[in-house]
A = this chain, B = another copy of it.
């Protein structure tokens, strides 16, 4: 048995997210079928984590085990030839059998793209949140810095119940939280050792409320410290969100 690590890019627009669900088209399922078409094995593709419906990836990572005799470059080319053009394997390499795309994650980087101008660009329309109203980017920057360090992010994440009924620990280490404006693009980039379910989009929605003047950076600080999901702003829609990189 061999273990393979893949770096993947995908346009999430036409998918119901990463994880296999009955009656819905997901990235994981499409990958498993493409690998099956080449190896004739029923493989399980294990991602670094789920991405939600409509969320994109520039560098999702996943692993799978196979008995194939193909070299990694042959396997990459063959599986890509079976994938639709909105999912692509960018890198494929053989890794030790104990490598695990989810458990070995050190940090992940997510980026959220907002178009803060009047005319949404035609050729990027599926990859931007359209927000033509004025944004106070300086206040968003100030608020974003409050995320840095180790925090209980309950205010920005939905707790998932783990096997055995325990609740997920919601403490995460935020290593980077950057708000940038360049032309009409406002970009929010977050790097942490893990993210709760919908955490990035909830942070983005709350930072947007700060940018709109509905919340101050002090309100933002209070929301974070309250550890209460109902304090935060709205969850931003998925089309602006990219999983940029997974570090091991």
Nearest residue, chain B, Cβ from A124 = B123
Chain B: minimal CB distance from A223 (Å): 32
Report the separation of the CA atoms of residues A167 and B122 in the bound assembly, to the nearest whole angstrom. Answer: 37
Is A123 in contact with B127, judged by CB distance below 8 angstroms? Answer: yes
Is A119 in contact with B80, judged by CB distance below 8 angstroms? Answer: yes
Nearest residue, chain B, Cβ from A73 = B118
Chain A contact residues (Cβ within 8 angstroms of B): what range? 20 to 34
Q: Which of B85, B89, B125 contacts A125 (CB 8 A)?
A: B85
Q: Which residues, 102 to 151 on A, are CB-close (under 8 Å) to B?
A: 118-123, 125, 127
Q: Which residues, 81 to 97 on A, are CB-close (under 8 Å) to B?
A: 85-90
Q: Which of B86, B89, B120, B122 contacts A10 (CB 8 A)?
A: B122
User: In the complex, what residues of B have CB within 8 A of residue A122's CB?
Assistant: 9-11, 85-88
User: In the complex, what residues of B have CB within 8 A of residue A80's CB?
Assistant: 118-119
Report the separation of the CA atoms of residues A118 and B79 in the bound assembly, to the nearest whole angstrom. Answer: 13
User: In the complex, what residues of B have CB within 8 A of residue A9's CB?
Assistant: 121-123
A40 interface hit (Cβ, 8 Å): no
A2 interface hit (Cβ, 8 Å): no
User: In the complex, what residues of B have CB within 8 A of residue A56's CB?
Assistant: 123
Known: A85-B125, A125-B85. A90 touches B119 (CB 8 A): yes
User: In the complex, what residues of B have CB within 8 A of residue A222's CB?
Assistant: none
User: In the complex, what residues of B have CB within 8 A of residue A127's CB?
Assistant: 123
Residues of A near any B CB (own CB < 8 A)? 9-11, 56, 77, 80, 85-90, 118-123, 125, 127
Beyond A10-B122, A11-B125, A85-B122: 16 further Cβ-contacts under 8 Å?
A9-B121, A9-B122, A9-B123, A56-B123, A80-B118, A80-B119, A85-B120, A85-B125, A86-B122, A86-B125, A87-B122, A88-B121, A88-B122, A89-B119, A90-B119, A123-B127
